[in-house]
Amino acid sequence: MPYPADGERDRPWVMRTYAGHSSATASNELYRRNLAKGQTGLSVAFDLPTQTGYDPDDELAKGEVGKVGVPIGHIGDMRQLFDRIPLAEANTSMTINATAMWLLALYVSVAEEQGADRAALSGTTQNDIIKEYLSRGTYVFPPGPSLRLITDMVAWTVSNVPKWNPINICSYHLQEVGATPAQEIAYSMSTAIAVLDSVFDSGQVPEERRGEVVARISFFVNAGVRFVEEMCKMRAFVRLWDEITRDRYGIENPKHRRFRYGVQVNSLGLTEAQPENNVQRIVLEMLAVSLSRDARARAIQLPAWNEALGLPRPWDQQWALRMQQVLAYETDLLEYEDIFDGSRVVEAKVDEILAGARAEIDRVQAMGGAVAAVESGYMKSALVSSLAERRRRVESGEDVVVGVNKFTTTAPSPLQVEGAQAIETIDPVVEQRAVDAIREWRESRDTALVESTLDALRAAAETDRNLVEATIACARAGVTTGEWASALRGAFGEYRAPTGVSAASASGESGAEIARVRERVRATGEELGERLRILVGKPGLDGHSNGAEQVAVRARDVGFEVVYQGIRLTPAQIVAAAVQEDVHVVGLSILSGSHLEVVPAVVDGLRAAGAGDVPVIVGGIVPPDDADKLRERGIARVFTPKDYELTQIMDEIVTVVREANGL
């Protein structure tokens, strides 16, 4: 996005809504409606099987197909997704990481089918795997091979798709899992250093083109409601990126060193209680990344007011788009130079954030860089501890959340009078249709061509050859998402990242309250003749693990023996662990909307294993009607974001154990 000279009105940022659900056909209709309403860029949300490299008929995909995004199983789905959308003219952001190379290959292939020149394509693949190990959880391969895939994509796009941003280094999810502004900057910059070092060390980019590589590195950030601090954070980001690219990599052209970023404001900071308050939160957070011209976002997407309740409807997304349009076109925001230049208050805050970020970058670099700090568990533990401290402040009332821990008296919201109709719901037949369609696709293609391209991909993976062209060949041959990922799983192996729970520390909202619950845990254990054990499980493909991690930490603090094996488990694996560890209660954490499918599967599995007397509780984004259905299926308790006091939740879990054992 070009920057006009001072004195001209600044150009509006690219306006997006993060969207995709059910099927490629339904998502295509949604995109074309949004573009007709004035949206200026596309932001594709993929479902969890697509993000983690599984086809819709894989066991791990059950309950997850089309829930949090659009399922893309092969080039036919990609054709349908962008039907009647000319990709030569589009600016498309794809939130995809572990399978980013695959989705880019599908996109480029479809664009070329439309007659577009590769060099004309513009957009972004998120492609930041480091933060997936730390926060979002949609990683597939170990860190080393994952960095190799990123390196190959960066090198290939600079030569072949020069307008494309091959990586969108993403601090967004780091903030959601607890990062302070200094940590958010430090871990993002550490990731950028790891990527640039890898690209330059690979020998795939000549010395004279290094500036072009740096110029295509973009960032994706989060903006919280402390909008002055957030604005200062962005100014610090700009300053530090310029410093690193100039001093570490010798990039002389200021345009190459420009910090380019997009933003979505904080979704997990939205509240289920009094959700109408989310509207003003979103607007304030948008100001954080638009007020400072020298650090203004060049692409913004806003969540909808009801995302703490479930999937937003098209009208809810339209409201979020209109917020951007009012700010950009009705106000005088874009008419001035940077209004914070010369502010001693802003400069002091920027300097404070920079000092903390530089110190943390030095710490990570001393460990051997971002990859080493992931593998050791250092960064994950730091974030789990930071989020525990943030929760403590909310639980104690030190940090006020309006409508949650203060000013809780409220009238019924007219925005929710429709009940279950106030959110988008996904028809259960969507998954079966996707399963049937992927099987039909496999029957209709040239099997010999598919096998030969997969063999070529496997062979290339065993060398140091760039894998993008081999991946494009697979895409054109009709290979599926699961087949591409499976071929590379065979070459690279799989990975389970450290959970960060064992090294995390938290004091809770009140020492007295924790002591009281700890005594209940101890006494109940004595009555049962053994220490109370809880299994915290993450069934399905949902990788948002921060809630589960905080529950595990607090359960440990009050005296439970905690069994937590991390993310991405099948119901059968959770049942096996519960039986093997002989736990007294199973707690399931789900944020992807797959609760009605995977939770009953765990309950049925426990009964089949002779452990039907073990109570099951659920936590996550569960609409009230769905909570009633879960309770009808035998779930002992359902906790949602409004239940924010973890020690009270622990107290209730003890009550569940006592009820289940007739105490």
The pLDDT tens digits for 596-635 are 888 999 999 999 999 999 999 999 888 888 999 999 999 9
pLDDT of residue 4: 46
The Cα 581–Cα 254 span in angstroms is 58
Our answer to whether residue 173 is catalytic in this structure is yes
pLDDT digits (tens, 9 = 90+) for 208-252: 999 999 999 999 999 999 999 999 999 999 999 999 999 999 999
Beta bridge mates, 42: 92
Which residue is listed with tokens 């990481």? 97
Pick the catalytic residue from 31, 172, 249, 644: 172
pLDDT higher than 60, residue 5: no
Our answer to whether residue 55 is catalytic in this structure is no
pLDDT of residue 463: 96
**Residue-averaged pLDDT of the chain:** 92
pLDDT of residue 1: 37
The Cα 576–Cα 589 span in angstroms is 17
Mean pLDDT for 326-351 is 95
Mean pLDDT for 168-177 is 91
Q: What is the DSSP letter of 209?
A: G
pLDDT of residue 565: 85
SS3 state of residue 238 = helix
| Rg of the chain in Å (alpha carbons) | 24
Pick the catalytic residue from 55, 57, 58, 542: 542
Our answer to whether residue 629 is catalytic in this structure is no
pLDDT digits (tens, 9 = 90+) for 484-524: 999 999 999 988 877 767 655 555 455 788 899 999 999 99
pLDDT higher than 70, residue 91: yes
pLDDT of residue 211: 97
pLDDT of residue 500: 66
pLDDT digits (tens, 9 = 90+) for 419-462: 656 667 777 889 999 999 999 999 999 999 999 999 999 999 99
Distance of CA 69 to the CA centre of its chain: 12
Our answer to whether residue 544 is catalytic in this structure is yes
pLDDT of residue 504: 56
Q: Which is nearest to 145 in space by CA: 498, 475, 495?
A: 495
Per DSSP, helices labelled H in 303-428 are 314-329, 344-366, 370-375, 378-396
**Domains of the chain by residue range:** 14-332+339-396, 512-661
Residue type, 430: V
pLDDT of residue 544: 82
Q: Which is nearest to 187 in space by CA: 427, 395, 326, 386?
A: 386
Pick the catalytic residue from 538, 557, 564, 584: 538
Q: What is the DSSP string of 403-442?
A: TTTB----PPPGGGTTGGGGSB---THHHHHHHHHHHHHH
Beta bridge mates, 70: 46
pLDDT higher than 60, residue 3: no
Our answer to whether residue 54 is catalytic in this structure is no
Pick the catalytic residue from 131, 233, 256, 544: 544
Mean pLDDT for 253-270 is 91
Q: What is the DSSP string of 166-186?
A: SEEEE-HHHHHTT--HHHHHH
Where is average pLDDT lowest: 86-95, 200-209, 304-313, 576-585? Answer: 304-313
CATH of domain 14-332+339-396: 3.20.20.240
Which residue is listed with tokens 């650090």? 295
Pick the catalytic residue from 18, 31, 139, 187: 18
pLDDT of residue 19: 85
Mean pLDDT for 324-334 is 94
pLDDT higher than 70, residue 158: yes
Mean pLDDT for 262-273 is 87
CATH of domain 512-661: 3.40.50.280
pLDDT digits (tens, 9 = 90+) for 401-423: 999 889 999 888 888 776 656 66
Pick the catalytic residue from 67, 173, 256, 349: 173
Q: Which is nearest to 221 in space by CA: 175, 187, 253?
A: 175
User: Regarding predicted confidence, which is higher, 326 or 385?
Assistant: 326
Under the banding of pLDDT at 50, 70 and 90, the label for residue 542 is: confident
Q: What is the DSSP string of 71-126?
A: ---SHHHHHHHTTT--TTT-EEEEE-STTHHHHHHHHHHHHHHTT--GGG-EEEE-
pLDDT digits (tens, 9 = 90+) for 137-151: 899 999 999 999 999
Our answer to whether residue 18 is catalytic in this structure is yes
